[in-house]
Each structure stands twice: as structure tokens, then as C-alpha cells.
Amino acid sequence: MKNKSALHESEGTHPSSEVNAVMAKKIRDSRRKETSIDEIFTRLRAGDKSALSQGITLVETNQPKQQEKAAQLIEKCLPYANNSIRIGITGVPGVGKSTFIEAFGVHMADAGKKVAVLAVDPSSSISGGSILGDKTRMETLVNHENAFIRPSPSGDSLGGVAKKTRETIILCEAAGFDTLLIETVGVGQSETTVHSMTDFFLLLKLAGAGDELQGIKRGIMEMADAIVINKADGENRKPAERARAEFRRALHLYPAKETGWQPKVLLCSAYYKEGISEVWELISDYEQKLKENGNFSKKRHEQNKFWLLQTINEHLKSRFYNEPEIKILLKQQLEALENNETTPFEAAAFLLQRYREL
Amino acid sequence: MKNKSALHESEGTHPSSEVNAVMAKKIRDSRRKETSIDEIFTRLRAGDKSALSQGITLVETNQPKQQEKAAQLIEKCLPYANNSIRIGITGVPGVGKSTFIEAFGVHMADAGKKVAVLAVDPSSSISGGSILGDKTRMETLVNHENAFIRPSPSGDSLGGVAKKTRETIILCEAAGFDTLLIETVGVGQSETTVHSMTDFFLLLKLAGAGDELQGIKRGIMEMADAIVINKADGENRKPAERARAEFRRALHLYPAKETGWQPKVLLCSAYYKEGISEVWELISDYEQKLKENGNFSKKRHEQNKFWLLQTINEHLKSRFYNEPEIKILLKQQLEALENNETTPFEAAAFLLQRYREL
């Protein structure tokens, strides 16, 4: 066209204008994207629960593009995070976790607290289900204006679920939620995971027949800041009191916590809403004491550091052990080890040498 | 010379003969080296303690050439290893570990057992000292024909000390030692290390004033296969019996061990040589039960696997964290984390990306 006639020279701008249109669209799209994250952020900061949900959905996605947006949102939220108490709650199925969270959450929400309930459930990645999926068990809380309930994210590893949960905590806090309840069913290492992302760790128990302390998972007692014996009502009251005495004795066996906190044992009946305010008083007391002695923020900083190093170490390992050649060689070395043909150190040196040469 | 006259042609062989001399020396040296390891091995297999000492010195060296020889020796010894009971012994200073090991070791050695005493003491790398250095406290044992005592190796890390100790175990077993006592003072993670290389883990305690269970290091109770309360004589007898009851109650709180073994509590007076044979009967009972249910060799195989993976993981980490650029960047990211400017996951992703690019 350009070469047809000098008169048509003005038309030469058309293609250039089209290019501009493409660019303009790109800019518009990019602005729309920014607006979108900006908008989610603004609404989220105003306490809008649907914006918070949207944000969490971004955090939970595995798409690289959405992940980038999630990272932008988290970055915006970071300065407004951290202003909360994060409470981990664990207990075996049947202990009444949902009933307890409902009663405790409503109690807090009625008192003007903004309560967010999250869950870490590594098994949900297999079953596809969620421990908070059955929201009918939290009818009052789910409809409370001061409460926000989010079912457990799915993930292909506990590490993945943990990352999503920790990022969700940031969004919830930026949205003004000051009381975070993070539930776990206690499959595999999930209690340790929840313990390492919460300020206060609460173990729910029942007074049952026989020895109360048998059957408590290894290490759980040492993590607990409080043991709450649920269903301590009616005929259960006496056995619950006996269990309380036994748990107190058992807790006494452990050395004092680094935070200076001495774990406590309480009774409650979540169903009859008895003993709920005492649990909150205990947690308030804990928060106050640890803030006074500086251990509250110290613990959070240590948790941040733990998660940073943990994430790095897991990545280094997964890169090594997922290397196809290493997989084959490792299998061979393990066999040689089983037959006493090599030592663990010789085998390790061999594998590391081969990994370096890859 | 060669070119001077044809008559001197025969002299042409001289330089070649000199070359042969050099080569012959090399061959002789190399043979001498081989003979040396062969000789150490042969003498070691015959139960010669000085050959065993020589072998252990090789294992403990950090010189690459000597390490190669050590690896050759270990390879030769491997088929003859494993035929022993490896007993881990821990307890705080003052509990009478040396006296106990002396009494227990002499009891075993008198009964025809071949007793080797080793130590894992990560602190010795700092102090340069050794927990078994004060051999005067084991006068009888050290001179017993059936006993061999080796002070703790020095090392710049617990991992290094552990490697040397595990390899020393192989040499001791190949030398016919069937009863291995591996002592630790319990600094840092050293109990866990000793626990993960022994068949039976014995915790020495005293009956003291106040609550016996307070002050027990986290996790030690769960590792113990037996708690032996020492100095249970004279006026100490009654408090020791009370402590025994308390420890029994406490051990009862833990879930049963995977090996099917129920940990026991015993009293002894190492000084008066009382209760020593009961400790041995207990360990024999343990060995028999675990060999019957297959857990004895299963545990050893698991320990081998643990050490292989542990060694790999430690190397992967040390390579990452010792990278000079990573050191600087990690410091920066930790500061950003402290100021809530980043999340643990974002910081980890950044550092891993930079590490990949190195």
C-alpha cells in the first residue's frame, strides 16, 4: 500500500495504529489485572468475606499465572498481617472438634472478635473431602457475621497444604480476622505442621474408659499448651475430673516450655456450652504473658525462619530423590546395604558423586 | 653414551633398568600398602587389639589417602560384622557412667564376652578432650584381656563423629567383639545419634531430691529400652525404689514400641556391683525377644537406611548453606522475613532459584 502512491502516505499510519490497539489492549488487560488484585485487596481489607474467599482461591491454585497474582496479593497484605492470635486445635475423630469450634467460635464472635476457621487435613488430598466440609455441624458459626469458615485446601503433600494454609492466614489477618482457629484431624505429621504455624496449641480429649494417657500420639503432649477434656457433662463429669488429674500429672513430667508457659488442663462441654469462656480466658492469659516476656513475637519469627529453612530443605531433597538416575542407583545401594556389601556412608558418597556429575 | 661406540651398546640398558627400579619400588610400595591393610585385617580378625586400634586410627583420619585405606579395611571387615549386641548408654555427668561401664563391662568380660567400649561425644571436638579419656576410672576393664576401650573420636560435627563411630563398630565386630557399649554424655543431639546406631538404649539415672522426672531431656524417655537407677545403695535405696515406681508409671504413658518391647526400670549399685547381672539378663531377654519376632535385624536394616538418607540429606544441605552467595542472600531474606516484607515461601523460592543459577 505504502508504495502505491505518495497520496496514500497517510494510510501508512493504519498498521501502526493497529499495533497500538494491540498494545492498548495489553495495557488495558494488564490494568484490569492490577485493578482486579487491587480491588480484591481493597475489598478484603474492608473485611469483605467474598473478596477474602476469592483471594484464598488464588492462593490455593496451582496455575503459575494465578500463583503470580496470589503472590502480588500476599505482598500487599503482608504489612497488615500478624495482628491476631493463631490457635491450633487437634483431637481424634469423635472428640467433638466441630462442636467445640462452633461453641468456641460463636462465643468469640459474639464478644466482637473476628473469627476465621481454617483446616489442615493432608488426607483430604486423597479423599478429596475436607474436615470442614460438613458445615452443617457449625450452623450458627457459619452464618455469624463475625465469622469466616474455609474448608481445608487440597494438595499433593502436607508441605503444599501447609504453604497454602500459612498464606491463607496472612489474607485472613489482613481482612481483619483476629482470632484464627486452625483445625487438624491429626493424620501423619499434620499436628506438628499446625503446631509450627500457631501461637497456641490446644489438644481436645475425651474422658474414656481405661488409661486416658495411653493412645496419645507420640509428641502431642509435649506440643500442647492446653488439654481440654470435652463432653465433661452428666455422667462423664467424674471420669473427666479423674482424667484431668491424670493429665495434669503427666504434663508435670515434661520440662518447662521455652516460652515460660506451663500447660493447663481444662474441662468443658461444648454441647452444653460449659467451660468455653474459661478456655478463652486461658488463651488470653497465655497471649498476655507471652507478649509481656517477648516470646509471642519471638515464637512467630522462629516459625517464619523454620518454614523458610524447611521449604528449602524439602526442595533440595525432592530434587535429589526425584532424579530418575538417582532413583535407580539408590535402589541398588539400598540392596547392597541390606546385604552388608556397603556402608551407609560409602553408599551416600557414591550417590552424591553421581548426582554432582549429572 | 649410546652413540659413543657400538661396543657400548649393552650399556643402553642402564637407563631402562633405572626406570624399572623406580617402577619396582612403586610396585613394592603398593604391595607393601596392600600387605599393610591385609596384615591389619588378618591380625584384627584374630582379635589383636593393637591391629584394631590401628584400624580405628585409619577410620578416624581425615587424610584422603588414609581414608581410602580405611575404606578398603572396612570393606574387608563388612562380611564379618553385625554379630554383636550394640548397647547405647547415656546419663548426665555424675550419674556414675564410668563406674557402671566398668562394673558392667567386667561382669560381661569375666563371663567370656568380648567387650568393646566406644563413645560419642560431640563436645570433645571443641574441648579436644574425651569422655573416656580418664581411663583410670575403668582400671579393671581397661586391663581385662576380653575388653577394648577406645576414647571418643574428635570431629568437626556430630555427623562426622557418628560416621567414625559407626565404622569403628564394624571393625570391632570383625575383631570378634560381641558386646559393644557406646557411651554418650548427652550433649545436643548425641543421644539421638547413639540411639540410632544401637540395638538397646539404656538411660542411667539417680534417685535425687524432688521430682525424678523433671529435668529429663525431651524425648529421652521415649528412646529408652531400660532406665537403670544407679547408686541404689544404703540410704539411697528407698528413694531409688520410689523413683523406680515413678519411672515405671511414666514409661507406661508412652505407646508400646514398634519392636514390641516394653521398657523396664531397674535398680543397681555399680559401685557395690549390685544389680549388674540383672541388667545383663534384661538385655539378653530383649535380644532374644527381638530376634524371635524379627525386629532385631529389621531395626539394624532401618538404621542403615536412616544413616544413608541422613548422610545424603546433610550433604545436600551443607552444600547449599555453605555456598558463599547463598549465605549473603539468606541473611538478607531472613531480615526481610523479620520485617514482614516477605513470606517464608517466597524467600525460599528466591534462594532456590539463585542456587540453581550458580
Q: What pairs with residue A90 in β-bridges?
A: A184, A203
Residue B218 has pLDDT above 80, yes or no: no
Helices (H) and strands (E) in chain B, counts: 14, 7
Residue A318 located in a structural domain:
no
CATH number at residue A109: 3.40.50.300
Query: How confident is residue B160, by pLDDT bands cut at 50, 70 and 90?
Result: confident
pLDDT at A15: 47
Residues A62 and A84 reside in one and the same domain: no
pLDDT-derived band at A132, boundaries 50, 70, 90: low
CA distance B289 to B262: 11
Say whether both B104 and B224 belong to one domain: yes
Domain-located, residue A314: no
Identify the pLDDT of residue B123.
Answer: 60
**For residue A204, what pLDDT is reported?**
93
Q: Nearest C-alpha of chain B: how many angstroms from A265?
A: 17
Range from A67-76, A280-289, B114-123 carrying the lowest mean pLDDT? B114-123
- Interchain pair A254, B218: CB under 8 A: yes
Distance from CA of A255 to the nearest CA of B (A): 6
Test B74 with A343 for CB contact under 8 angstroms.
yes
* Domain housing A39: 6-76
Query: Chain B contacts of A75, Cβ < 8 Å?
Result: 346
Q: Which residues contact A24 (CB under 8 A, 6 or more apart)?
A: none
Nearest chain B alpha carbon to A334: B305
Residue B165 and residue B33 share a domain: no
* Any A CB within 8 A of B167 CB: yes
pLDDT band at residue B1 under the 50/70/90 scheme: very low
Of the candidates B306, B316, B347, the beta carbon closest to that of A320 is on B316
Question: Is B251 in CB contact (< 8 Å) with chain A?
Answer: no
For residue B145, pLDDT beyond 80: yes
Q: Which 168-197 residues of chain B touch chain A by CB within 8 A? A: 170
pLDDT at A131: 55
Q: Average pLDDT of chain B?
A: 85
- Residue B85, H or E segment: strand B85-90
B342 in contact with A at a CB cutoff of 8 Å? yes
A254 CB neighbours in chain B (<8 A) are 218
Q: In whole angstroms, what is the distance from residue A84 CA to residue A297 CA?
A: 11
Shared domain check, B284 and B215 = yes
Shared-domain flag, residues B124 and B210: yes
- pLDDT score of B12 more than 60: no
B245 touches chain A (CB under 8 A): no
- Summarize pLDDT for A223-272 with one digit per residue, the tens: 999 999 999 999 999 999 999 998 898 888 777 788 889 999 999 999 99
Please indicate, yes or no, if residue B131 is contained in any of the structural domains. Answer: yes
- Number of folded domains in chain B? 3
- In this structure, the answer to whether residues B54 and B99 fall within a common structural domain is no
- Which residues of B fall within a CB distance of 8 Å from A345? 163, 166-167, 307, 311
Same domain, yes or no: B191 and B150 = yes
User: Which of A76, A102, A132 is the last residue in one of the domains?
Assistant: A76
Determine, for residues B74 and A334 on separate chains, whether the beta-carbon distance falls below 8 Å: no
Alpha-carbon span A331 to B320, nearest angstrom: 25
C-alpha cell at B41: 585385617
Confidence class for position B126, pLDDT limits 50, 70, 90: very low
Q: CA dist A47 to A40, A52, A75, A102, B53, Å?
A: 11, 8, 17, 21, 72
Say which range, A120-124, A159-163, A303-307, has the weakest mean pLDDT.
A120-124
Question: What gap in Å lies between CA A257 and CA A259, rounded to an integer?
Answer: 5
Residue A24 lies in a domain: yes
Looking at B76, B109, B129, the residue that finishes a domain is B76
B336 touches chain A (CB under 8 A): no
Contact yes or no for B250 and A253 at CB 8 A = yes
Res A62: pLDDT: 84
Query: d(Cα A211, Cα B251) in Å, to the nearest integer?
Result: 13
**Interface mutation vs chain A, best among B223, B253, B258, B339, most A CBs within 10 Å:** B253
Residue B150 CB neighbour total at 10 angstroms: 21
Higher pLDDT, B335 or A252: B335
Which residue on chain A is closest to B215 by alpha carbon?
A255
**Is A167 in contact with B337 (Cβ distance < 8 A)?**
no
Cβ contact, residue pair A352, B312, below 8 Å? yes
- Indicate whether A97 pLDDT > 70: yes
d(CA B81, CA B83): 6
Compute the nearest-CA separation of A232 from chain B (Å).
22
Interchain CB contact of A333 with B (< 8 Å) = yes
Instruction: Give a yes or no: residue B284 inside a domain.
Output: yes
* Residue A249 vs residue B124, higher pLDDT: A249
* CA A255/CA A251 separation, integer angstroms: 9
Give the separation between CA A267 and CA A278, rounded to whole angstroms.
Answer: 9
Do A116 and A29 fall into the same domain?
no
Nearest residue of B to residue A170, measured between CA atoms: B343
Residue A317 within a domain: no
| Contact of B187 with B121, CB cutoff 8 Å | yes
Any CB–CB contact under 8 A between A328 and chain B?
Answer: no
Q: Name chain B contacts of A218, Cβ cutoff 8 Å.
A: 222, 254-255
Instruction: Dump the DSSP string for A30-47.
Output: HHHHHHHHHHHHHHHHTT
Q: Is B163 on the interface with A (CB under 8 A)?
A: yes
User: Edge-to-edge, what's the strand order for the sheet holding A179-184?
Assistant: A147-149, A115-120, A179-184, A85-90, A200-206, A226-230, A264-267
> pLDDT at position B77, please?
95
Three-state SS at B101: helix
Q: Is the pLDDT reported for residue A356 higher than 50?
A: yes
Write the DSSP assignment of A86-155 as a string of letters.
Answer: EEEEE--TTS-HHHHHHHHHHHHHHTT--EEEEEE-TTHHHHS--TT--GGGGHHHHT-TTEEE-PPPP-
The residue among A184 and A333 whose pLDDT is bigger is: A333
Domain boundary among B76, B97, B126: B76
Q: Is the pLDDT of residue B2 over 90?
A: no
Cell numbers for A150, please give them. Answer: 474455609
β-bridge mates for residue B182, sequence order: B88, B118
Among candidates A254, A308, A348 on the partner chain, residue whose Cβ is nearest the Cβ of B311: A348
Please list every residue in chain A whose beta carbon sits closer than 8 Å to the beta carbon of residue B348.
307-308, 311-312, 315
DSSP B180-235: EEEEE---TTHHHHHHTT-SEEEEEEE--SS-SSTTPPTTHHHH-SEEEEE---GG
> Does B66 share its domain with B133?
no
Above 50 in pLDDT, residue B188?
Answer: yes
Query: CA A253, CA B221: separation in Å to the nearest integer?
Result: 11
B130/B15 same-domain check: no
pLDDT at site B56: 95
Residues of chain A with Cβ-Cβ distance to B346 below 8 Å are 71, 74-75
Residue B212 has pLDDT above 80, yes or no: no
Q: B190 and B66: one domain?
A: no
CA dist B73 and A330 (Å) reads 24
Mutate to test the interface with A, among B80, B163, B340 (most CBs of A within 10 A): B340
Residue B244 lies in a domain: yes
How far off is chain A from B61, nearest CA to CA, in Å?
15
Mean pLDDT for A292-299 is 95
Which one of A253, A262, A313, A353 makes the best mutation probe of the B interface by having the most chain B beta carbons within 10 Å?
Answer: A253
User: Any chain B CB within 8 A of the CB of A167?
Assistant: yes
- Report the interhelical angle of A13-45 vs A64-77 (nearest 10°): 50
Residues B253 and B125 reside in one and the same domain: yes
Residue B252 belongs to some domain of the structure: yes
